[in-house]
């Protein structure tokens, strides 16, 4: 039986951006709209945030959220102006994800916990670097969202090794269509490759390489059944540059070649219809 790949609401993020700002006394924005979701983490100082007819007096350690198309106004304090870091997301379905975590235009403020702050710092470290890898940048952005889940979810009490596994599975799901290596995964998690392999074998019963291959082959089966992609297109869609490498991996996992699998399943479907 195939393992469920993801068991929670996962938003699709199309673009991310971020930065930091040390505001002058009285510096303000608005009233105006933003086109993306933006989370502002206040590192120092104070200010006011206004939305939906409500006014919030905020200080260091708090986060205020901006939702696209919602009129907002925010202003740094005159005597102790705030300094904040921020991350923005362009997404069509992020509102539902945030709402499930108690955040909306009506409830736009929360107190940051350590995991959120650490994830945001890791994102900005990559974002501010020279020519950041898009894969790593997007993964760090998803880490920020994932930290919101962990702040409220019981999984936060999971053993440390299992947390690495959960983060790894999320990362691999998001980037299964790329040529992911075990070394890249270990670097993303910030752990040694041999430790990563030991964790996978302990909790999942397979090596990271085997897990990646199985994940891709399960997705390949869906493409072969539900689309008219050629075998070469399926291979390319899953990050394989060489068709024979994909075909060899598919046959090793599924026992038949991709073309034989497609023909066999088409015959079964035809028989079921009659």
The pLDDT of 13-32, averaged and rounded, is 90
The CA–CA distances, whole Å, from 123 to 109, 144, 234 equal 21, 8, 32
Confidence of residue 272 (pLDDT cuts 50, 70, 90): low
Give yes or no for residue 44 having a pLDDT over 90.
yes
The pLDDT of 181-204, averaged and rounded, is 89
Q: Distance between CA 194 and CA 132 in Å, rounded? A: 26
- What is the model's pLDDT at position 170? 78
Tokens of 235: 């291979």
- What is the model's pLDDT at position 271? 62
Confidence of residue 156 (pLDDT cuts 50, 70, 90): very low
Instruction: Give the contacts of 58 (CB within 8 A, at least 6 positions apart).
Output: 42, 46, 47, 48, 49, 64, 82, 109
Give 22's strand partners: 83
Average pLDDT of the chain is 84
**Among 65, 204, 265, residue whose Cα is nearest residue 213:** 204
**Burial (0-12, 13-18, 19+ Cβ within 10 Å), 120:** buried
Confidence of residue 152 (pLDDT cuts 50, 70, 90): very low
- What is the model's pLDDT at position 80? 95
Would you say how long the chain is, in residues?
A: 274
Tokens of 154: 């019981």
Give 85's strand partners: 20, 41
- What is the model's pLDDT at position 161? 78
pLDDT tens-digit readout, 51-92: 998 999 999 999 999 999 899 999 999 999 999 999 999 888
- Sheet with 109-111, edge to edge strand ranges: 13-22, 83-91, 37-44, 62-66, 109-111
- What is the model's pLDDT at position 256? 94
Give yes or no for residue 163 having a pLDDT over 90.
no
Give yes or no for residue 155 having a pLDDT over 50.
no
Q: Distance between CA 42 and CA 21 in Å, rounded? A: 10
The model carries a pTM of: 0.55
The pLDDT of 178-200, averaged and rounded, is 88
pLDDT tens-digit readout, 95-106: 888 887 888 888
The pLDDT of 233-240, averaged and rounded, is 89
The pLDDT of 227-253, averaged and rounded, is 91
pLDDT tens-digit readout, 111-137: 998 889 999 998 998 887 666 667 778
pLDDT tens-digit readout, 3-12: 333 334 467 8
- What is the model's pLDDT at position 10? 62
The pLDDT of 155-159, averaged and rounded, is 46
- What is the model's pLDDT at position 270? 67
- Beta strands, E only, the chain: 13-22, 28-32, 37-44, 46-51, 54-59, 62-66, 72-76, 83-91, 109-111
CA angle (36 as vertex; 34, 41 as ends), nearest 5: 90
């Amino acid at each position: 039986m195939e393992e469920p790949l993801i068991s929670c609401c996962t938003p699709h993020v199309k673009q991310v951006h971020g930065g930091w700002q040390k505001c002058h006394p009285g510096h303000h924005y608005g009233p105006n709209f933003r086109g993306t979701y933006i989370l502002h983490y206040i590192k120092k100082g104070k200010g006011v945030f206004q939305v939906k007819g409500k006014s919030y007096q905020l200080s260091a350690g708090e986060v205020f959220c901006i939702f696209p198309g919602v009129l907002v106004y925010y202003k740094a304090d005159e005597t102790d102006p705030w300094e904040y870091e921020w991350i923005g997301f362009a997404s069509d379905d992020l509102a539902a994800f945030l709402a499930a975590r108690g955040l909306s235009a009506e409830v736009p403020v929360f107190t940051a916990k350590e995991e959120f702050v650490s994830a945001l710092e890791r994102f900005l470290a990559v974002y501010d670097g020279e020519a950041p890898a898009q894969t790593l940048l997007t993964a760090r952005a998803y880490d920020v969202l994932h930290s919101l889940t962990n702040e409220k979810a019981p999984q936060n009490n999971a053993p440390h090794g299992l947390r690495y596994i959960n983060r790894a599975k999320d990362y691999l799901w998001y980037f299964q269509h790329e040529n992911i290596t075990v070394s890249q995964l270990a670097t993303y998690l910030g752990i040694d490759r041999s430790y990563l392999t030991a964790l996978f074998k302990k909790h999942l019963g397979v090596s990271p390489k085997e897990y990646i291959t199985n994940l891709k082959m399960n997705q390949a089966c869906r493409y072969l059944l539900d689309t008219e992609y050629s075998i070469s297109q399926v291979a390319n869609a899953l990050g394989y540059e060489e068709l024979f490498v994909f075909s060899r991996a598919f046959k090793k996992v599924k026992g038949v070649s991709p073309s034989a699998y497609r023909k066999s399943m088409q015959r079964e479907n035809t028989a079921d219809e009659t």
